Amino acid sequence: MAVMVGIEHLLGNLEPFVHSYGAAAVMVILTFESLGLPLPGESVLILASVLAGRGELSLLPLMLGAWAGAVLGDNIGYLIGSRLGRAIVVRYGAKIGINADRLNRVEAFFKRYGPVTVAFARFVTVLRQLNGVVAGSLKMEWKRFFFFNALGGALWVSVWTLAGFYLGEHVSDIKVIAHDLERAGAILGIGVLIAALVYGFWRLRHAS
């Protein structure tokens, strides 16, 4: 309950910002969220999509801005990881809820599934925040990272934008949408994670 109240409060603070600056606001928020800051990326994107569905924002600039923010943030994270390594995350990550144990788990997942992780990382909360930094610290080829990251970002933006339009047509109270976000995000994240695991298992089986 406290988490949902926090989401509602944060959304309430961000809504005027999104109203005033539209796609630019969404781009900035998603850029910083991709760097690990505790911002509700999906919530903001859906909120903006609902507003676009009501004619208060333009859809195409919103989608392009959201995609650009997601990709930009991840690539800044990649640069930080490649230049400064995991030590910078271990040193400062605790301030935003990223500890060494969580980082180790994400790194193990990256090493096992590689580009698949990059493509679907945006759908899983912890992976989304550490996507670029971990890929950079593990020295993943930048061109490969950029391609799969851009692809995953486009898919993520499309899914949540369509969800926002649907909710905008069927739900009049944005607070009701906020109550459903965490559950929907968790279910979607689990589904994507299972799909990635199945794909990884299939690759290992056919490679042997």
3-state secondary structure labels for all residues of the chain: CHHHHHHHHHHHHHHHHHHHHHHHHHHHHHHHHHCCCCCCHHHHHHHHHHHHHCCCCCHHHHHHHHHHHHHHHHHHHHHHHHHHCHHHHHHHHHHHCCCHHHHHHHHHHHHHHCHHHHHHHHHCHHHHHHHHHHHHHCCCCHHHHHHHHHHHHHHHHHHHHHHHHHHHHHCCCHHHHHHHHHHHHHHHHHHHHHHHHHHHHHHHHHHC
Tally of domains in the chain: 1
- Give pTM, 2 decimals: 0.74
Domain that holds residue 137: 2-207
Per-residue pLDDT of the chain (208 residues; tens, 9 = 90+): 333 344 455 556 677 888 888 899 999 999 998 887 778 787 888 888 888 887 888 889 999 999 999 999 999 989 988 888 777 667 666 665 566 777 777 788 787 777 888 888 888 777 787 788 888 888 889 999 999 999 999 999 998 888 777 776 666 555 555 555 555 555 555 565 566 556 555 655 665 5
